[in-house]
Chains A and B, each alone.
Chain A
Amino acid sequence: MIHIPRWQAIAIVSLCFIGIIFSLPNLFGRKTMETLPNWIPHRQVSLGLDLQGGSYILLEVDLDRALAEYTDSLLEEIRGVLREKQIAFTNLSVENGSVAIALRDVAQASAAREAIRTITASSGITEPSIGKILVRPSEAEITARKKQIVDQSVEIVRRRVDETGTKESSIQRQGDRRVIVELPGYDDPQRMKELIGKTAKLTFHLVEEPGTPGTKILDSEEAGGGKYTINRRIIVSGENLTDAQPTYVDGQPVVSFRFDSTGARRFGDATQKNVHRFLAIVLDDKVISAPTIREPILGGSGIISGHFTPQSASDLALLLRAGALPAPLKVLEERTVGPGLGADSIAAGTVACLIGYGLIALLMVIGYGLFGIFANIALLLNLAFTLAIMALLGATLTLPGIAGIVLGLAMAVDANVLIFERMREEVRFGRSPFPAVDNAFQRAYVTILDSNVTTLIAAIILYILGTGAVRGFAVTLAIGIAASMFTAVTVSRFMVVSWLVWRRPAELPL
């Protein structure tokens, strides 16, 4: 005689209700949900970019370039400290990622090392030959610097994306040098890539006569093209900006900016000393414009004029507000799905799901009669649980994910097929209904467990190694299989046993 204790019955029924309630929000549109009272669960399964449309952009931080810049700045610092201590050198350069110093006077070696120690950790300072000092940034410094660069890049990308007003965007770090940008509903990735990909390093320099020492030659972005010779020394840079806005001067689009107090002081000093000279405004190693300094600019604000369109002026203002990237970003991968294809995919997935379910349900009833109906109820519950668990976990439903649901349904029904076939065997063996049902569930349980675990292993590995939409397949398959252990075994046993206790049939309707 099998019997299901009352507390178990209550637990099973209430769990099913919870599953149904939490899956219900998915039946309604987002708009309808907002009108419903607050006590009803609102969480819906979030749709992947392939279903709702949107852009996925994978970027890589050019760390090598950033580290080279880091070594360059270390070199400049060393130059400064050696000059300060009046230690003369014949050569100062970067060799394989280290700063190499050739001293004029060998006797000053220990003084030089002492001076450099004030800048960087002493472990990185070596003296391979007499009078030659190598300074290598320590691994710890490099690692810390890399992390800082990537963190900063993520932050700057986030600010830029937020500035465009894109909603529900997600910006994540991946691995040690990659950034994933996901923009649901955004279908103009071209502009976004341009915005994200620009380093936007703004600097102000004085223009010098060609051939002056300590200068470099840069291309001009002005209408006529050409080149400028500018002083390497940065008067003030974009880091000191507090605000930038697009505006118009004489009908031409320009960008107005405001410096913080440090920036304003430096800018004021430089313009005061260099009236009538040319000031080069440099963005990412290109001269935007080089106006004449007509009078000292002491107020801390100014205007960048140049070869702008209204769009490019507003983009530049946005970039300056968000800040410069510490290192260039490269686009490695981009996937954009338009809203049309997304809607088509949802429609196709839903139709395939309904037809798949309909066919399975029909055949289960033809093959197993009343018990088939029980199995179908369990199957619907399985679908409800899959959606509810996905909504609660915040998992994303993708198009392959819908395929996973369809296959998960087929897997879930396998448990019931195993059980019902076993019942038939038990009946053939001559057992009466109660022991037949009891044995069938007990025996089949082990088989179901083993067969589900093997598929679950495959799904989990696919989840760990999979990317993007394929992960969605692993998620729905895994959740569907896990849920089937409850719905197809516990719930259908509850239904079958309850029916047996109620009707006490002389033989099973199989």
Chain B
Amino acid sequence: MFRPIQLIDKVPSLDFFRWHRACFALSIILCAISVISLATRGLSYGVDFAGGILIEAKTSGPADIAELRGKLGALNLGDVSLTSFGAPDVVLIRVQQSSEATEGTEMKAVEQVRSALGAGVEYRRVEVVGPRVGAELVIKGALAIALSLVGIMLYMAIRYGWRAGLTGVIAILHDCLTTVGLFSVTGMQFDLNVVAAVVAIAGFSINDTVVIDDRIRENLRKYKRMDFRDLINQSVNETMARTLVTNGLVLLAVLALVLFGGPVLFSFSIAMLWGVVLGTYSTIYVAAPLEWYISGRGRHMHGSHEAEPA
């Protein structure tokens, strides 16, 4: 059997604290941009959250978007947008009704669009979300993100002490906030799938933090007198090979989704891509140094004083 290629053949001795102030600054700037963009531009909600109508129609032959726009615009249904979707003969029609729209008018609007498009159109997808359901989904989505943060923090606090829990949640918050911020800045559509991606990013990001924290705990038992900052550095270095390999593999899986997962999954995959890259960065350059600050630069970690298991 051939000799496997080792990405890192000995434990590196990089100083991750060297750049930590610049990284903190960068992260704070990214978060600030996200918050400002969310406050001023907001998110361009998909039909799931904003309510309205989404129709994916396949026309016979390439679609004449301008002509269709004229036809649908004449119906006076509200805000109608048409985009080509994946293929030249597939059109995505989105109808956003005025805020006073009720369930009944939405359903009528679908019929009007159907009759305006006429026969010979294949309806690949029709989604109609009433305003009330849209508002409920916003609350549920926000709740899902918030509760998963709380759940993860509690678990971390139980296993590694409250300092690790707090650090972990700050790191996740950073990843989730900037992911949502990315959607706000770029104006990409924010829908239910993106919420799923944000929760998954929280899970993946904390995963990296757990691995490093676990190593810190082990090293605290091993090196009784080492300075905490050096010890954190050493732990990050020791787990570096795993961090790079695993995140590289996750990145490949996500890239496969971005490139081949199809247009329906695209926003989900883009969110994951950003989250995985950012999650790796935040674990190493934000969470690890932050752990040192939150611990008051002292050696604190839950469970580190137990006897080493045989």
Contact = CB atoms under 8 A, between A and B. Distances in A.
Contacts, number: 245
Interface residues of A, number: 83
A462 interface: yes
Given A363-B248, A363-B252, A367-B5, A454 B206 contact: yes
B156 A406 contact: no
Contacts of B173: none
Nearest to A362: B252
Given A363-B249, A457-B152, A447 B210 contact: yes
B122 A338 contact: yes
Contact of A336 (B125, B141, B144, B241): B125
Contacts of B6: 367, 424
A355 B256 contact: yes
Given A349-B262, A465-B143, A458 B199 contact: yes
A461 B147 contact: yes
Overall SS of chain A's interface: helix
Interface residues of B, number: 79
Contact of A459 (B126, B203, B268): B203
B211 A447 contact: yes
A421 B130 CA distance: 52
Interface stretch (B23-31, B68-76, B132-140, B287-295): B132-140
Interface in B1-59: 1-7, 10-11, 56, 58
Nearest to A364: B249
Nearest to A365: B4
Contacts of A351: 260
A502 B69 CA distance: 71
Interface string B100-131: 00011001001100100000001111111110
Contacts of B4: 365-369, 371-372, 509-510
B269 A403 contact: yes
A454 B207 contact: yes
B207 A335 contact: no
A193 interface: yes
B257 interface: yes
Contact of B125 (A337, A402, A428): A337
A352 B241 contact: no
B210 A407 contact: no
A96 to B, nearest CB: 25
A403 B265 contact: yes
B127 A334 contact: yes
B126 A336 contact: yes
Contacts of B195: 470
Contact of A461 (B151, B206, B218, B242): B151
Contacts of A331: 103, 107, 128, 130
Given A367-B4, A465-B144, A470-B195, A417 B246 contact: yes
A410 interface: yes
A409 B252 CA distance: 11
Interface string A441-472: 00100110011111111111110011111100
A75 B152 CA distance: 56
14 contacts: A190-B110, A337-B125, A351-B260, A352-B257, A417-B245, A425-B238, A428-B10, A451-B211, A452-B207, A457-B152, A458-B152, A461-B147, A461-B151, A462-B148
3 pairs of A and B residues whose beta carbons are closest in the complex? A348-B262, A458-B203, A455-B203
Given A335-B125, A446-B214, 18 more contacts: A190-B110, A330-B103, A333-B133, A338-B123, A348-B262, A352-B257, A356-B252, A414-B246, A428-B11, A451-B210, A454-B155, A454-B206, A458-B151, A461-B147, A461-B151, A468-B192, A473-B193, A477-B203
Interface of A: 50, 58, 187, 189-190, 193, 330-338, 340-341, 344-345, 347-349, 351-353, 355-356, 359-360, 363-372, 399-400, 402-403, 406-407, 409-411, 413-414, 417-418, 421, 424-425, 428, 443, 446-447, 450-462, 465-470, 473-474, 477, 509-510
